[in-house]
Structure 1
Amino acid sequence: MQFSSYGNWVKPIPHVLARFGVDGHALLSSLGLANHKEGERLPAEKTAEAWRLAAQLSGQPSIGIHAAKAIHPASWGALGHAVLSCENLHHAISLLLKYPAFISDSIRIEAYEGTETFTLETFPVSKQLPGVESLEFGMATGFQLLNAIFPAQLKLKSLSLTRTENCDATSYQEFYQCEDVFFGQASAKQVFYRKDIYLPLPFANAELTEHHEKLVQQQLQKQGFDFEKNTFIEQVTARLRQQLNAGHINQTKIAEELNISSRHMQRKLKALNTSFSDLVDSIRKESALALLKSRQKSLTDIAHQLGFSDHSNFTRAFKRWHGLTPTQFLELAIQQSAANR
């Protein structure tokens, strides 16, 4: 599959590299990225290579942080302008997650709430993409956008990054205003304070948000995305993931968030050759494996997190998916691990 990214993601490279005495225009030219048109999407592997080389040539592993400081809402095009008029950060984040293809289709982002925290977790779609440096730049630009509309200094509670090499945490701590920065993690996480996420924003304007959101949709359609199919299913799926992370499933609430009735949502999904129950089943199947492999929760806790009423229902579903009960799956995994030692 050919993954792509928003073309503006490489624009800051010449500017930030000039501060370190490096010709960023030459770098982009060598990759064939120097003269792309406004709004044009770029191959994700080239975007990843551009940021990798930028870090290497500048001697700055955290190059994405340095570059993100110069980003402003207009850098995000219509989506940035839509975010400017959101009612709170939760609304802004929901809007960003509503259009994952606008940012890059080489990542998947999940959001979930705790009692005092709100977490954004980013997963690469493939092992090679989007690249550590490119991923960190994308995360930093998202934070910079949210910080631009926040009435005070936005701070993270903690930051988790996937890079494994030794790196000075200072740049990350200063940019995100947080002490706890963890490297070598399985996924990238930005943990916000929940109280900040729902704080009313001073420039909320529903009409402006709606206007610019329509421009985002038009842009994606021009770029060849099957907006009706991909985006609607992504919207439902993203909300399902959020609900499962919170341990419950509420079809009516998802429909309300999409401004349609449950019946209308079911009809739209049927027209797209799927159903709400099919999406629930698919996400549960995927999440069950990940949770079992992590071995951090009991089977009862996993069953509750996935929205099953009891342990036995989870066991029956898992056996239907994989031909084994969860206990048998874990026993087999332990045996295979022992055999490989």
Structure 2
Amino acid sequence: MPVTVTRTTITTTTTAGSPTIVGSPRALTQPLGLLRLLQLLSTCIAFSLVANVGAWVGSMGNWCMFTWCFCFSVTLIILIVEVFGFQQRFPLSWRNFPITFAFYAALFCLSTSIIYPTTFVQFLAHGRVRDHAIAATTFSCVAFLAYALEVTWTRARPGEITGYMATVPGLLKVLETFVACIIFAFISSPNLYQSQPALEWCVAVYAICFILAAVAILLNLGDCTNALPIPFPTFLSGLAFLSVILYATALVIWPLYQFNERYGGQPRRGRDVSCSMAHAYYVCTWDRKLTVAILTGINLLAYLADLAYSTRLVFVKV
């Protein structure tokens, strides 16, 4: 008796309300699949336009090129996993990985869409290179919108059972680590903080809080939360509380020692020689200090919101 083998497909329902078919090429024709194809196309065009004319120079240019290439590569991996149904074989939690990456990608593309035109494009002469750079910036914005839309579609709704990274506290962890990475980029010059032990304390705060938030993300991506000696909600609450205290000290110390003359700071931008002239691919020292101060405040607000959500989660569990 002849036996016929047909391809097996798995159907799941997304929070957007439409079914997503995985383990089949039909996954690409669903709304989420089409959105990921848009992400793939926009990031590919962005880095191709820039690479074609060599329109990236210095650390800022490398950051932008890395962003587009990284987002393109991981999005391609996600599409391959879903088309061929490799979710069970994927080394990380598939409930948590796609939305975690989507939010990181949205933040990366947003930062690139701001950094690339302000530190590079505006200094280019009119011509083919500038046109390519402007087009790349446009597609970077498109990629940001596509990734942000995926996060909006797939994030957890009230009462829905899903992975931790799809919840508000999980997304806040992504934001906290991303902002810390931007801070690290702006304090890459040791002369910004080595003159004062208090400023070195701020750098230590950024590093400690980044590591703690990254550990929480990795525990969820690896489905290792049950390995903790204490309940995971309690761990998250303690982590958020510690980070709030540490960032509060940094929010006071960093501006005080960077912008107050009494503590050796420089209150006015005009006094910074490096800011007297506009340079491509470069952010002057005073602007770096101010940016770090602003980002410190943003991350403190993120940790405060994280603490509020985490504390509420502990009480709910109790």
Common fold by TM > 0.5: no
Find the structure with the greater CA-based Rg: 2
TM-score range, shorter chain: under 0.3
- TM-score under structure 1 normalisation? 0.25
As a proportion of its length, which structure holds more strand?
Answer: 1
